[in-house]
Amino acid sequence: MSVDHIVYLTADDDIASLRERLRRAQADPLILVIPDNVAVLRQVVGVRLVQRYSAQMGITIIIVTRDRATEDMCRRYGFAVYHDIDKIPPRKRGGIDANLLAAAPRLPPVPIYRRLVGAGFWLVAIVLVMVGAVTISLAAGLVMPSAVIRLVPATEMLTTTINITGGPQIRVLDADKGQLPARSVQVLIEDTGQVETTGQKRVPDAAATGTVVFASRSLGAITIPKGTVVRTSTGQSVRFRTEEEASLPAGAFATVRVPIKAIDPGPNGNVKAGTINVVEGTLAFQVSVLNDEDTKDGSEKQVSFVTLQDRATLRDVILKKIQANSYSELLKAIQPGDILPAETLTIAVNESSFDKPLDAEGTYLTGKVRATVSGLVLDGDDLKTLVLARLRDRVPPGFIILPDSITIGTPGSVRYSDGVLTLQITATARSQAAIDRQDVQRLAAGKTVEMAGQEIARRFSLARPPEIAVERPFFGRLPLLTARIAVISE
């Protein structure tokens, strides 16, 4: 096993470095060790990044931390959280070598006062203090004033336009240069189609028919079997078969007329009278043959057949169908917020098959094409990180950007060549005045409703004046104890 099974974060780690460290880690399960002074996973965007990486790579990520805010945030998103590596159950560790776990750095020891909390003396003392505090709080709640302050922070929309360069060859996000890593996604698509064939040719259709007269060359009776073959003797030989059995009576020069049909269909069977004069087989020593009339009704017809161009046309028709469906199929393979420019789509044909060979007769040609469709994807989280970095200098003093409010428009000026993608995006985000609840409590404590409202309005950027409600006011003033003042920011 490699040390990539355990990633130990430091106070210098931010979203960008966390993403890079996750990409370098190639292990399952992966243990993230997070000291108290690391704040990256106290943020929703950080936890979602880890959650997304876990889902994409199909690996289990275990969190080791003693920081309460980090623990709460990670548990909220379904991660297993432990206070020490040694606390991870063996079944969760998978195949991680015990020596690797033993050598891994540990979190700093728990302060002495936290360990003493479990001792009996301290436990009793804490319980007594809590009981006293609850008693005092209940008593205070009955006689002391309380207040609720409702604030609606001011907001301001921010907009930025960013020129982006992306590609698989870019390994790390660079906000200043607008460079983003890009990954390739692909799907296998199969579709069918049909076209009319365009080849035209004439082929034999009906066989010629007629009659011949057999004449006896012997004195005895002769039977002429059905299927006896006769033919012409000049030019290209044309062969016929008799259509029925016939008998020649005994006696010299006896004759019989028998119907015949050309063996091969087509107009070649239409021969002139007197040209059929050969009997095939041993019967030729006993009889002679001659057609005293022309044979007729041998014909041909025009048919369609498959050409090389028909195959090429059908292949193009199917590929257009695949191309029309490929974008929606690729979108199913990416995450919400990712960008997949249609200009990066490529189609590689894996297999083509047709229901008829070349030159085969038929009015229609049906075929099937199986192809791999690929495209280049920009990660949605990377895009948000880039937008946040670009908007940071535009945030008004005292305001913060709300990451979930970031909206990225449809990319423009898209260019894709030699694996490098360039495009332009316009993004908007909502910034909101930062409200420090403790500052609000301190400003309002002990003041009249009017004075508190004025102080708060001067200190913070608000969309409308504060709403202050006081229960059991003391000489028309808010409570002196800040704990008795609730601040709600909408």
Cis peptide before 29 (omega within 30 of 0): yes
Whether residue 189 is found in the same domain as residue 334: yes
Q: Which of 84, 109, 134 is the last residue of a domain?
A: 109
Whether residue 321 is found in the same domain as residue 256: no
- Residues 254-274 have a mean pLDDT of 96
pLDDT, residue 136, reads 53
- Whether residue 133 lies inside any domain: the answer is yes
Whether residue 93 is found in the same domain as residue 25: yes
Whether residue 280 is found in the same domain as residue 335: no
Domain that holds residue 338: 184-199+304-378
Whether residue 194 is found in the same domain as residue 325: yes
Whether residue 194 is found in the same domain as residue 277: no
Tell me the DSSP string of 14-72. -HHHHHHHHHH---SSEEEEE-TT--GGGSHHHHHHHHHHHHHHT--EEEEE--HHHHH
Whether residue 284 is found in the same domain as residue 138: no
Whether residue 66 is found in the same domain as residue 85: yes
The number of folded domains in the chain is 4
Coil/strand/helix, residue 104: coil
Name the average pLDDT for the chain.
Answer: 87
- Residues 136-165 have a mean pLDDT of 80
Predicted confidence band of residue 483 (pLDDT cuts 50, 70, 90): very high
pLDDT, residue 121, reads 46
Q: Which of 91, 109, 127 is the last residue of a domain?
A: 109
Question: Would you say residue 155 has pLDDT above 70?
Answer: yes
CATH value at residue 289: 2.40.30
Predicted confidence band of residue 253 (pLDDT cuts 50, 70, 90): confident
- Whether residue 219 lies inside any domain: the answer is yes
Q: Which of 86, 109, 132 is the last residue of a domain?
A: 109
Whether residue 331 is found in the same domain as residue 191: yes
Predicted confidence band of residue 2 (pLDDT cuts 50, 70, 90): very low
Whether residue 75 is found in the same domain as residue 213: no
For the chain, give the percent of residues with pLDDT over 70.
90
Could you tell me where the DSSP H helices lie in 298-430?
Answer: 308-331, 380-391
- Whether residue 254 lies inside any domain: the answer is yes
pLDDT, residue 445, reads 93
- Residues 127-151 have a mean pLDDT of 64
Whether residue 90 is found in the same domain as residue 26: yes
Whether residue 102 is found in the same domain as residue 251: no
Q: Which residues of 298-337 are buried (b: 16+ CB within 10 A; e: fewer)?
A: beeeeebbbbeebbebbbebbbeebbeebeeebeeebeee
For the chain, counts of helices (H) and of strands (E): 11, 25
- Whether residue 246 lies inside any domain: the answer is yes
- Whether residue 383 lies inside any domain: the answer is no
Residues in the chain, total = 490
Question: Would you say residue 93 has pLDDT above 80?
Answer: no
